[in-house]
Amino acid sequence: MSNPFFKNYGPFKLSKIINVLNIKIDNSLNDKEIHDIKDLVSSTENDITFFHSKKYKDAANKTKASFCLTTDVLKKELPMNCSALVVENVLVSTSKISSIFYPDSVNDNFDETAISINDTPFNDKVCFGKNVLIGMNVSIGNNCKIGHNTIIENNVVIGDDCYVGSNNIIRNTIIKNNVKILDNCTIGKHGFGFFPVKDKNIRYPHIGIVLIEDNCEIGCGATIDRGSMSNTIIGKNTFLDNQIHIAHNVKIGENTIIAGQVGIAGSSIIGNNVKIGGQAGISGHLKIGNNVEIGGGSGVIRDIPDNTKVMGYPAKNIREFLRNNKWYTKQL
């Protein structure tokens, strides 16, 4: 993943990484330079990646990373070009190494650099309401409007013809053209990423961003977390209703419609032309295919193939649900 906002403080010698992890490897590798930490798919030579679950076996087989944080059981799935660094807890180790490369991503406090839009070059370019604040490293396109009490914090790109309503907080986000964001949204903060270790929880850095493609609409009260090791993406022409939560690393395809109070847990992938009914919940690390319809109030706990309609908890094929719940059909 190429991060446009957070500074990469690498490269680092492998010996430094080994010291942080407190593990032992072949001393001949100590002087090897590591340029970045990335996920299995986007890693290239001289990168370090991580592999913690059999679910990602196919990606692990094809990774181009030089080194991989993994377990003794999973290391056999790595290709010859990738040396395993066996650790006790892969995700905790990944957090430690991410903090070395991207220390600026750990702090997610409010943006102390934000100033009144009246004191920025956008004063004569943007139509804005009262009490609008703008942080550092912000770009705003042509013909944009920003509502009252909105804070565009550091590291935000807003394209042309965009509308950002009132009482929003946005950071670490790229917004393409003709996007409409209604009121009371929080976009680009870190996700709910913790590792329980003994008597404390360790938060891991979120070095990704939020990317909202062209012609999207984000409803009131939506929260969209930035990615941890990859980006959170809202595809073109996708509309989100009010009070929706999109967790870190979620990728939503094009032309998708999601009704109110839906929650999508981290790292799930939603296909194109998907319709999700209100108050549905989708567990993490799932793949929802193209042209899928998910009924309101459903609980999705496994992958759903293309062109499928599901409903219920756990969500099942709509025909099976209706056959087993005849009381429901009587209400229709």
Q: Are strands 194-197 and 200-203 parallel, antiparallel or unpaired?
A: antiparallel
Reported residue count of the chain is 332
Q: What are phi and psi of 105, to 5 degrees?
A: -80, -10
Radius of gyration of the chain (CA): 22
Do 175 and 212 touch, CB atoms closer than 8 A?
yes
Question: Which residue's entry shows tokens 């002087």?
Answer: 31
Q: Which residues contact 25 (CB under 8 A, 6 or more apart)?
A: 14, 18, 83, 85
Question: Which residue's entry shows tokens 């056999």?
Answer: 76
* Tokens encoding 190: 């870190």
* Tokens encoding 124: 């004569």
* Tokens encoding 310: 């599901």
Distance from chain centroid for Cα 303: 19
* d(C-alpha 163, C-alpha 142), whole Å: 11
**Is residue 248 among the annotated active site residues?**
yes
Q: What are phi and psi of 139, to 5 degrees?
A: -130, 135
Point out the catalytic residue in the list 190, 206, 245, 248.
248
User: Using DSSP, how many helices (H) and how many strands (E) does the chain show?
Assistant: 5, 37
Q: Give CB contacts under 8 A, 24+ apart, made by 320-325.
A: 321/295
Q: Kindly list the catalytic residues.
A: 248
